[in-house]
Amino acid sequence: MTRRPRLIRAVAALAAGAALLALSACPSAASENAAKAEYHYKLASNFFYDNNPQSAITELYSALKLDDHHARAHALLGFIYFGRKDYVRAAKHLEMAVTIDPNLDEATANLGNVYLATEQWEAAVPYFERLLSRPLYRTPYLAQNNLGWALLNLGRVEEARKYFQLAVFYNPKFCLAYNNLGRLNAQQGETRLALERFHKAAKLCPNYAEPHYFLGRIYAALGAPKEAARHYQRCYKLAPESPYGRRCGDAL
Protein backbone atom coordinates (compact mmCIF):
# COMPACT_ATOMS: atom_id res chain seq x y z
CA MET A 1 0.00 0.00 0.00
CA THR A 2 2.88 2.41 0.66
CA ARG A 3 5.00 1.67 -2.41
CA ARG A 4 2.54 3.05 -4.99
CA PRO A 5 2.26 6.59 -3.51
CA ARG A 6 6.05 6.70 -3.18
CA LEU A 7 6.41 5.66 -6.83
CA ILE A 8 3.91 8.33 -7.92
CA ARG A 9 5.77 10.98 -5.90
CA ALA A 10 9.09 9.90 -7.45
CA VAL A 11 7.71 10.12 -11.00
CA ALA A 12 6.18 13.55 -10.24
CA ALA A 13 9.50 14.77 -8.87
CA LEU A 14 11.32 13.61 -12.00
CA ALA A 15 8.74 15.31 -14.22
CA ALA A 16 9.03 18.55 -12.26
CA GLY A 17 12.80 18.41 -12.50
CA ALA A 18 12.63 17.89 -16.26
CA ALA A 19 10.26 20.83 -16.62
CA LEU A 20 12.55 23.08 -14.61
CA LEU A 21 15.51 22.00 -16.74
CA ALA A 22 13.61 22.81 -19.93
CA LEU A 23 12.56 26.22 -18.57
CA SER A 24 16.07 27.07 -17.48
CA ALA A 25 17.41 26.10 -20.91
CA CYS A 26 15.12 28.59 -22.71
CA PRO A 27 16.47 31.79 -21.11
CA SER A 28 19.99 30.48 -21.61
CA ALA A 29 19.41 29.96 -25.35
CA ALA A 30 17.71 33.37 -25.64
CA SER A 31 20.60 35.04 -23.82
CA GLU A 32 23.10 33.30 -26.07
CA ASN A 33 21.25 34.46 -29.19
CA ALA A 34 21.04 38.00 -27.83
CA ALA A 35 24.80 38.01 -27.20
CA LYS A 36 25.48 36.72 -30.73
CA ALA A 37 23.11 39.32 -32.17
CA GLU A 38 24.95 42.07 -30.30
CA TYR A 39 28.25 40.77 -31.69
CA HIS A 40 26.91 40.96 -35.27
CA TYR A 41 25.50 44.43 -34.57
CA LYS A 42 28.90 45.67 -33.40
CA LEU A 43 30.53 44.20 -36.50
CA ALA A 44 27.92 46.00 -38.60
CA SER A 45 28.64 49.30 -36.84
CA ASN A 46 32.34 48.92 -37.56
CA PHE A 47 31.66 48.13 -41.22
CA PHE A 48 29.31 51.12 -41.48
CA TYR A 49 31.85 53.55 -40.04
CA ASP A 50 34.50 52.07 -42.33
CA ASN A 51 32.28 53.01 -45.31
CA ASN A 52 31.35 49.42 -46.07
CA PRO A 53 27.53 49.53 -45.88
CA GLN A 54 26.95 46.29 -47.80
CA SER A 55 28.90 44.25 -45.24
CA ALA A 56 27.08 46.18 -42.51
CA ILE A 57 23.73 45.13 -43.99
CA THR A 58 24.82 41.48 -44.05
CA GLU A 59 25.80 41.61 -40.37
CA LEU A 60 22.60 43.42 -39.41
CA TYR A 61 20.45 40.75 -41.01
CA SER A 62 22.49 38.13 -39.14
CA ALA A 63 21.82 40.01 -35.91
CA LEU A 64 18.09 40.25 -36.57
CA LYS A 65 17.87 36.57 -37.47
CA LEU A 66 19.17 35.82 -33.97
CA ASP A 67 17.18 38.56 -32.23
CA ASP A 68 14.44 40.27 -34.22
CA HIS A 69 13.87 42.67 -31.29
CA HIS A 70 17.34 44.23 -31.49
CA ALA A 71 16.24 47.88 -31.73
CA ARG A 72 19.61 49.34 -32.64
CA ALA A 73 20.09 46.81 -35.46
CA HIS A 74 16.74 47.85 -36.93
CA ALA A 75 17.71 51.51 -36.46
CA LEU A 76 21.04 51.20 -38.26
CA LEU A 77 19.55 49.11 -41.06
CA GLY A 78 16.82 51.70 -41.51
CA PHE A 79 19.38 54.50 -41.59
CA ILE A 80 21.43 52.74 -44.26
CA TYR A 81 18.35 52.19 -46.41
CA PHE A 82 17.41 55.84 -45.86
CA GLY A 83 20.79 56.87 -47.22
CA ARG A 84 20.14 54.70 -50.26
CA LYS A 85 16.71 56.32 -50.73
CA ASP A 86 15.04 52.95 -50.23
CA TYR A 87 12.34 54.64 -48.20
CA VAL A 88 10.00 51.66 -47.86
CA ARG A 89 12.64 49.46 -46.20
CA ALA A 90 13.98 52.42 -44.22
CA ALA A 91 10.55 53.18 -42.75
CA LYS A 92 9.90 49.51 -41.97
CA HIS A 93 13.07 49.07 -39.91
CA LEU A 94 12.92 52.47 -38.23
CA GLU A 95 9.31 51.85 -37.23
CA MET A 96 10.40 48.53 -35.71
CA ALA A 97 13.22 50.27 -33.84
CA VAL A 98 10.99 52.92 -32.24
CA THR A 99 8.28 50.37 -31.45
CA ILE A 100 10.78 48.17 -29.63
CA ASP A 101 12.53 51.11 -27.93
CA PRO A 102 10.50 54.35 -27.95
CA ASN A 103 13.43 56.14 -26.27
CA LEU A 104 15.79 55.57 -29.21
CA ASP A 105 16.02 59.22 -30.22
CA GLU A 106 18.18 58.76 -33.30
CA ALA A 107 15.73 56.24 -34.79
CA THR A 108 12.80 58.53 -33.93
CA ALA A 109 14.48 61.46 -35.70
CA ASN A 110 15.40 59.38 -38.74
CA LEU A 111 11.88 58.00 -39.05
CA GLY A 112 10.53 61.55 -39.01
CA ASN A 113 13.09 62.46 -41.67
CA VAL A 114 12.00 59.54 -43.88
CA TYR A 115 8.46 60.87 -43.73
CA LEU A 116 9.71 64.36 -44.64
CA ALA A 117 11.67 62.94 -47.57
CA THR A 118 8.56 61.18 -48.85
CA GLU A 119 6.34 64.23 -48.17
CA GLN A 120 4.23 62.41 -45.61
CA TRP A 121 3.94 65.56 -43.54
CA GLU A 122 1.19 64.40 -41.19
CA ALA A 123 3.05 61.17 -40.41
CA ALA A 124 6.25 63.07 -39.59
CA VAL A 125 4.75 65.45 -37.03
CA PRO A 126 4.36 63.12 -33.99
CA TYR A 127 7.94 61.88 -34.19
CA PHE A 128 9.41 65.38 -33.95
CA GLU A 129 6.91 66.25 -31.24
CA ARG A 130 8.05 63.16 -29.34
CA LEU A 131 11.66 64.33 -29.49
CA LEU A 132 10.73 67.82 -28.29
CA SER A 133 8.81 66.40 -25.34
CA ARG A 134 12.09 65.07 -23.94
CA PRO A 135 13.87 67.79 -21.92
CA LEU A 136 17.28 66.10 -22.31
CA TYR A 137 17.13 65.73 -26.11
CA ARG A 138 20.48 67.06 -27.28
CA THR A 139 19.61 68.80 -30.57
CA PRO A 140 16.12 70.31 -30.17
CA TYR A 141 16.77 72.87 -32.92
CA LEU A 142 16.91 70.09 -35.54
CA ALA A 143 13.56 68.69 -34.43
CA GLN A 144 12.09 72.21 -34.22
CA ASN A 145 13.17 73.01 -37.77
CA ASN A 146 11.90 69.69 -39.13
CA LEU A 147 8.60 70.00 -37.30
CA GLY A 148 8.27 73.52 -38.66
CA TRP A 149 8.85 72.26 -42.20
CA ALA A 150 6.19 69.56 -41.85
CA LEU A 151 3.72 72.07 -40.40
CA LEU A 152 4.42 74.62 -43.13
CA ASN A 153 3.66 72.02 -45.78
CA LEU A 154 0.43 71.20 -43.94
CA GLY A 155 -0.59 74.87 -44.15
CA ARG A 156 -0.21 75.39 -40.40
CA VAL A 157 1.77 78.57 -40.95
CA GLU A 158 1.82 80.18 -37.51
CA GLU A 159 2.78 76.92 -35.80
CA ALA A 160 5.56 76.50 -38.36
CA ARG A 161 6.76 80.06 -37.73
CA LYS A 162 6.93 79.35 -33.99
CA TYR A 163 9.12 76.28 -34.46
CA PHE A 164 11.46 77.90 -36.99
CA GLN A 165 11.93 80.82 -34.59
CA LEU A 166 12.63 78.40 -31.75
CA ALA A 167 15.20 76.62 -33.91
CA VAL A 168 17.20 79.81 -34.50
CA PHE A 169 16.79 80.79 -30.86
CA TYR A 170 18.35 77.50 -29.76
CA ASN A 171 21.00 77.65 -32.49
CA PRO A 172 21.61 81.19 -33.81
CA LYS A 173 23.98 79.81 -36.47
CA PHE A 174 21.46 77.37 -37.94
CA CYS A 175 21.31 78.54 -41.56
CA LEU A 176 18.73 75.96 -42.67
CA ALA A 177 16.16 77.29 -40.20
CA TYR A 178 16.84 80.89 -41.32
CA ASN A 179 16.32 79.76 -44.91
CA ASN A 180 13.04 78.07 -44.00
CA LEU A 181 11.89 81.16 -42.13
CA GLY A 182 12.69 83.14 -45.28
CA ARG A 183 10.57 80.76 -47.34
CA LEU A 184 7.67 81.17 -44.93
CA ASN A 185 8.06 84.96 -45.00
CA ALA A 186 8.17 85.01 -48.82
CA GLN A 187 5.11 82.75 -48.98
CA GLN A 188 3.22 85.15 -46.70
CA GLY A 189 4.27 88.23 -48.67
CA GLU A 190 6.62 89.44 -45.90
CA THR A 191 9.29 90.57 -48.35
CA ARG A 192 11.52 92.56 -46.01
CA LEU A 193 11.69 89.73 -43.49
CA ALA A 194 12.25 87.19 -46.27
CA LEU A 195 15.26 89.15 -47.58
CA GLU A 196 16.65 89.48 -44.08
CA ARG A 197 16.35 85.73 -43.38
CA PHE A 198 17.77 84.63 -46.74
CA HIS A 199 20.74 87.00 -46.40
CA LYS A 200 21.33 85.65 -42.87
CA ALA A 201 21.26 82.04 -44.13
CA ALA A 202 23.69 82.85 -46.94
CA LYS A 203 26.05 84.67 -44.58
CA LEU A 204 26.05 81.87 -41.98
CA CYS A 205 26.65 79.16 -44.61
CA PRO A 206 28.62 80.67 -47.52
CA ASN A 207 28.44 77.43 -49.53
CA TYR A 208 24.65 77.10 -49.23
CA ALA A 209 23.08 77.62 -52.67
CA GLU A 210 19.35 77.62 -51.86
CA PRO A 211 19.02 81.06 -50.19
CA HIS A 212 20.76 82.66 -53.19
CA TYR A 213 18.10 81.18 -55.48
CA PHE A 214 15.31 82.75 -53.41
CA LEU A 215 17.18 86.04 -53.13
CA GLY A 216 17.50 86.05 -56.91
CA ARG A 217 13.75 85.51 -57.28
CA ILE A 218 12.85 88.28 -54.83
CA TYR A 219 15.25 90.83 -56.35
CA ALA A 220 13.97 89.98 -59.84
CA ALA A 221 10.40 90.56 -58.64
CA LEU A 222 11.47 93.86 -57.05
CA GLY A 223 12.90 95.09 -60.38
CA ALA A 224 16.57 94.75 -59.38
CA PRO A 225 17.95 92.56 -62.21
CA LYS A 226 21.64 93.12 -61.42
CA GLU A 227 21.21 92.04 -57.80
CA ALA A 228 19.08 89.09 -58.90
CA ALA A 229 21.75 88.01 -61.42
CA ARG A 230 24.45 88.24 -58.76
CA HIS A 231 22.60 85.77 -56.53
CA TYR A 232 21.68 83.46 -59.40
CA GLN A 233 25.34 83.36 -60.43
CA ARG A 234 26.44 82.61 -56.87
CA CYS A 235 23.84 79.86 -56.56
CA TYR A 236 24.85 78.25 -59.87
CA LYS A 237 28.56 78.42 -59.01
CA LEU A 238 27.99 76.75 -55.63
CA ALA A 239 25.84 73.85 -56.84
CA PRO A 240 25.50 73.66 -60.64
CA GLU A 241 24.15 70.08 -60.63
CA SER A 242 21.64 70.55 -57.81
CA PRO A 243 17.95 71.29 -58.47
CA TYR A 244 18.37 74.88 -57.25
CA GLY A 245 21.63 75.27 -59.15
CA ARG A 246 19.92 74.26 -62.39
CA ARG A 247 17.07 76.68 -61.72
CA CYS A 248 19.59 79.45 -61.15
CA GLY A 249 21.40 78.56 -64.38
CA ASP A 250 18.11 78.72 -66.28
CA ALA A 251 17.39 82.15 -64.75
CA LEU A 252 20.67 83.69 -65.92
Which CATH number belongs to the domain containing residue 99 in this structure? 1.25.40.10
Residue 85: inside a domain, yes or no?
Answer: yes
Q: Domain range holding 36?
A: 32-118
Specify the number of domains making up the chain.
1
| Nearest residue to 98 via CA among 87, 88, 111, 86 | 111
Is 70 exceeded by the pLDDT of residue 94?
yes
Q: What is the DSSP string of 33-58?
A: HHHHHHHHHHHHHHHHHTT-HHHHHH
Q: How many residues does the chain have?
A: 252
If pLDDT is split at 50, 70 and 90, which confidence band does 5 have? low
Residues 130, 181: Cα–Cα separation, whole Å: 22
pLDDT (0 to 100) of residue 213: 98
pLDDT value at residue 29: 76
Instruction: Note whether residue 134 is domain-resident.
Output: no
Task: Judge whether 58 lies within some domain.
Answer: yes
Residue 127 lies in a domain: no
φ, ψ for residue 61, nearest 5 deg = -65, -35
Lowest mean pLDDT among 4-18, 100-114, 230-244: 4-18
d(CA 104, CA 199): 36
Torsion sign across C-alpha atoms 98, 102, 103, 108:
positive
List, for residues 12-45, the tens digit of each pLDDT value. Answer: 444 444 444 444 445 677 889 999 999 999 999 9
In this predicted structure, what is the pLDDT of residue 30? 80
pLDDT in tens, 141-183: 999 999 999 999 999 999 999 999 999 999 999 999 999 999 9
Cα–Cα dist 96/68, whole Å? 9
Distances (CA, A) of 103 to 21, 98, 139, 242: 36, 7, 15, 36
Residue 63 identity: A
Cα gap 187→17, rounded to integer Å: 74
E strand map for the chain: none
- Inside any domain, residue 74: yes
